[in-house]
């Protein structure tokens, strides 16, 4: 069966981020490849992306490749992004993710209007920083509004920005979405309204919108806009001990979205 265009675009994006001359295997399966410069994960970690029933795994050194291939042999792609399954076969010291990867085509996009007017602001507007402060450090870091390269699409209440969305340029003309809502304004469709405007802006520019989310509420917003979940991404830090693959360095655990942004330069 031919690979669907949306899935093919998503795979090509993550193959480029892997920075290795290997790709997702056709018809399912797993490819493990050595890539010290992989942007699938922080430096020294193992990066895993599963898309459409196939998985691409990067390891930081040749000495790690054989043990990881042996450990992952026979596992279905969905098990490679399940923390419990991975801990059963690898000496896992830290995990970032997993996060769902969702994409939308122009034909699949379901724009949302209301319940409030959406305003366009510069991406570095001070009102966005105030929203991040209200949301808290962890959620602001996950949303990464400070990284957007587009305009910001915002909803105000009583003059204050309570929901905002935008997108950042990633490789292969991908628009990586960022969405954030103030805690007291959630559950009223404001994130959907702001995100809908940001997605429409990305599609109008001929970009591929990407929604990366760990939390169910964020995934529901994406689904409401027509995004399809095509796969999952996570990063693994392996223990440095005699039983662990060698060539892996130790790194402190970072917030998942922040570490991926640092690794990708995105």
Alpha helix ranges (H) inside 108-173? 126-135, 137-143
Domain count, the chain: 2
Question: Nearest-CA neighbor of 247 among 72, 90, 65?
Answer: 65
Averaged confidence pLDDT in the chain: 87
Q: Are residues 208 and 123 in the same domain?
A: yes
pLDDT (0 to 100) of residue 240 = 74
Whether the Cβ atoms of residue 219 and residue 28 lie closer than 8 Å to each other: no
Q: Are residues 72 and 26 in the same domain?
A: yes
> Rounded to whole angstroms, how far apart are CA atoms 203 and 200?
5
pLDDT (0 to 100) of residue 241 = 52
Q: Are residues 123 and 189 in the same domain?
A: yes
pLDDT digits (tens, 9 = 90+) for 71-128: 998 888 889 999 999 999 999 999 999 999 999 999 999 998 767 799 999 999 999 9
Tokens of 261: 């942004």
Alpha helix ranges (H) inside the chain? 5-18, 62-72, 83-89, 126-135, 137-143, 190-204, 216-224, 256-264
- pTM to 2 decimals? 0.87
**Full domain range(s) for residue 81:** 5-100+232-264
Q: Are residues 123 and 221 in the same domain?
A: yes
What DSSP state is assigned to residue 147?
G
Q: Are residues 26 and 51 in the same domain?
A: yes
Domain of 160: which CATH number? 3.40.630.30
pLDDT of 215 higher than 80:
yes
Q: Are residues 141 and 54 in the same domain?
A: no
Whether the Cβ atoms of residue 164 and residue 254 lie closer than 8 Å to each other: no
What confidence category does residue 254 fall into, taking pLDDT thresholds of 50, 70 and 90? very low
pLDDT of 18 higher than 90:
yes
């Amino acid at each position: 069966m031919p690979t669907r265009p949306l899935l093919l675009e998503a795979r090509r994006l993550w193959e480029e981020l892997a920075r290795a001359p290997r790709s997702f295997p056709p018809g399912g399966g797993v490819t493990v490849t050595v890539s010290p410069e992989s942007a699938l994960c922080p430096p020294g970690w193992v990066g895993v992306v599963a898309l459409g029933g196939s998985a691409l795994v990067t390891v930081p050194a040749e000495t790690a490749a054989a043990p990881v291939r042996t450990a992952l042999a026979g596992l279905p792609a969905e098990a490679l992004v399940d923390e419990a399954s991975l801990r059963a076969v690898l000496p896992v010291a830290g995990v970032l993710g997993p996060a769902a990867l969702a994409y939308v085509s122009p034909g699949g996009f379901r724009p949302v209007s209301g319940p409030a007017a959406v305003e366009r602001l510069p991406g570095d507007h001070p009102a966005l920083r105030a929203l991040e402060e209200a949301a808290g450090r962890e959620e602001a870091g996950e949303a990464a509004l400070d990284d957007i390269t587009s305009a910001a699409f915002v909803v105000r209440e009583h003059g204050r920005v309570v929901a905002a969305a935008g997108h950042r340029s990633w490789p292969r003309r991908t628009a990586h979405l960022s969405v954030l809502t103030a805690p007291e304004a959630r559950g009223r469709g404001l994130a959907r309204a702001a995100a809908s405007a940001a997605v429409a802006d990305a599609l109008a520019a001929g970009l591929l919108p990407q929604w990366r989310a760990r939390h169910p509420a964020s995934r529901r917003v994406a689904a409401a806009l027509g995004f399809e979940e095509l796969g999952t991404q996570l990063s693994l830090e392996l223990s440095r001990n005699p039983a662990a693959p060698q060539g892996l360095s130790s790194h402190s655990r970072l917030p998942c979205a922040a570490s991926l942004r640092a690794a990708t330069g995105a």
